């Protein structure tokens, strides 16, 4: 039985990822934005007056635009 060449092994490792590399980067930023927004809303619900607005502004004004514009 022939052994796979290095190009075959590289093709297998790159084909094993279901998402393109560009989308994975955008997805990571979107997940970070969702987590920051969730923490901000939870803090706001608990009565936070300092941390909640900072997290919500960070999520909406920084992380979401980065997730959209990231190449």
Could you tell me if residue 2 is inside a domain? no
Q: pTM score > 0.75 for this model?
A: no
41 belongs to a structural domain: yes
47: left (phi over 0), alpha (psi -120 to 50) or beta: left
pLDDT digits (tens, 9 = 90+) for 23-39: 788 899 999 999 999 99
* Number of domains within the chain: 1
d(CA 26, CA 39): 20
DSSP state string for 26-61: HHHHHHHHHHHHHHHHHHHHTT-SSHHHHHHHHIII
Q: Provide the pLDDT for residue 21.
A: 72
Does 7 reside within a domain? Answer: no
Asked if the structure places residue 57 within a domain, the reply is yes
Answer yes or no: is 30 within a domain: yes
Domain membership of residue 23 as a residue range: 19-69
Q: For residue 3, which of 12, 57, 59 has the smallest C-alpha distance?
A: 12
With respect to residue 3, please indicate whether it lies within any of the assigned structural domains: no
Q: Does 55 fall in a domain?
A: yes
């Amino acid at each position: 039985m022939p052994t796979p060449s290095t190009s075959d092994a590289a093709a297998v490792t790159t084909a094993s990822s279901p998402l393109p590399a560009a989308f994975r980067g955008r997805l990571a930023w979107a997940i970070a934005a969702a987590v920051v927004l969730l923490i901000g809303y939870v803090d706001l619900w608990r009565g936070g007056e300092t941390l909640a607005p900072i997290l919500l502004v960070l999520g909406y004004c920084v992380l979401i635009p980065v997730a959209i514009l990231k190449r």
